[in-house]
Amino acid sequence: MASTAYVTSLSLSSSFTENSLSSSSSFFAGSQLSFSPSPLPGSRHISKRVVIVSRSLIGIGEAMRIMRERELQSTVKVRKRPPLRRGKVSGRLPVPDHIPRPPYSSTTFLPELSSELQIHDSESIACMKASCELAARALDYAGTLVRPSATTKEIDKAVHEMIIDAGAYPSPLGYGGFPKSIYTSVNECMCHGIPDSRQLQHGDIINIGVTVFLNGYHGATAKTFLCGKNVNEEAKRLVEVTEECLEKAISVCNNGALFRKIGKRISAHAEKFGYEVVDRFVGHGIGTILHSEPVIIHSSNEFPGRMVEGQTFTIEPIVTMGNMESVTWDDNWTTLTADGSLAAQFSHTVLITEDGVEVLTRC
């Protein structure tokens, strides 16, 4: 809920002559205090009037000092969150030879965005639904593994095994040289966090991204989970609002709708809470190709383009508690908020239908 802060203004100005005192009005917390004395003979009387006003100001100042001290004391009680540190990254996990792989899996080359729109017939829609259903189940499973002392490396390994047991390939593995099977982005990490040996802590939030390649089709989804106890209310609200942003964006999707409605709806909701929407990372078409047009911008924009029946794409907003500026580690993947503020993300793959939209990655 947006709130308006009223700034207290207090002023006092006086003009002295030999035998008179003239004082302007003073304001405190919306109440007006007026001092309009009549001319008084003798400096003694003038001194008394000034002392009265000064005592009033001292009382106000003392009250403000006590208020500031109380605010500082309450702030000290909150444990400061240490900055995210990288752990040790182990090697790639094996994938059985019989599982079909996407074309990029054997190279470190980062594919360019394809201009081929992902528009499906009934047969390919069935394939998309199968891959997206698996991605959704794998993400739910990953969420059950989020707990203090667990490492993101352990979560990656467990989800990797679930995916290959289903006969699918974990799409992130080998994409542009990415070394792991899922994305795990903790606290101020916006996205593309590489699973490693760092243990999760009470109070962490973790964004897990899962994409699978099944029977020639990709399905992608992501969710931010709370870890253990002591997740503060500010973090909880960020996560809640980010999920709401995704749902509000989905609600504007239908055959013929403008893509820019997505960004406008997300920005409008996030800004109510003083959050920023990251514009560096976008959603995209998805199907037989992992990343294709259209580009889905999550912030307000005026780009053209309309949704069409049979089309699949991702909506994946990242919302930050602070500034949306980012920094990327030298692994060329892990991207954090520049100011260290928390970030959250939710993502779904959606299908445009004749009369609306279907979320394919919702369990």
| The predicted structure's pLDDT at residue 315 | 98
The Cα 142–Cα 227 span in angstroms is 12
Contact 197, 153 (CB under 8 A): yes
pTM of the model: 0.78
Residues in Cβ contact with 250 at an 8 Å cutoff, skipping those fewer than 6 apart = 315, 348, 350, 357, 359
Q: Give the phi and the psi of residue 155 in degrees, each rounded to 5.
A: -65, -45
The Cα 226–Cα 163 span in angstroms is 23
The Cα 199–Cα 147 span in angstroms is 9
Instruction: Give the amino acid at 307.
Output: M
Contact 168, 119 (CB under 8 A): no
* pLDDT tens digits for range 65-84: 555 554 544 433 334 688 99
| The predicted structure's pLDDT at residue 174 | 97
| The predicted structure's pLDDT at residue 6 | 24
* pLDDT tens digits for range 328-345: 999 999 999 999 999 999
Instruction: Give the amino acid at 175.
Output: Y
- Give, in order, the Cα–Cα distances in Å from 113 to each of 95, 116, 183, 292: 25, 9, 20, 5
| The predicted structure's pLDDT at residue 363 | 84
Residues in Cβ contact with 192 at an 8 Å cutoff, skipping those fewer than 6 apart = 178, 183, 185, 333, 334, 335
3-state secondary structure the chain: CCCCCCCCCCCCCEEEECCEEEECCEEECCEEECCCCCCCCCHHHHHHHHHHHHHHHHHHHHHHHHHHHHHHHHHHCCCCCCCCCCCCCCCCCCCCCCCCCCHHHHCCCCCCCECCCCECCHHHHHHHHHHHHHHHHHHHHHHHCCCCCCEHHHHHHHHHHHHHHCCCEECCCCHHHCCCCCEEEECCEEECCCCCCCECCCCCEEEEEEEEEECCEEEEEEEEEECCCCCCHHHHHHHHHHHHHHHHHHHCCCCCCECHHHHHHHHHHHHCCCCEECCCCCEEECCCCCCEEEEECCCCCCCCCECCCCEEEEECCEEECCCCCEEECCCCCCEEECCCCCEEECEEEEEEECCEEEECCCC
- Regions of the chain short of the pLDDT cut 70: 1-80
Contact 208, 239 (CB under 8 A): no
Contact 10, 24 (CB under 8 A): no
| The predicted structure's pLDDT at residue 62 | 52
10 Å CB burial of residue 41 (0-12, 13-18, 19+) is exposed
| The predicted structure's pLDDT at residue 67 | 54
Checking 42-46 for CB contacts under 8 A at 24+ apart, the result is 46/16, 46/21
Contact 86, 179 (CB under 8 A): no
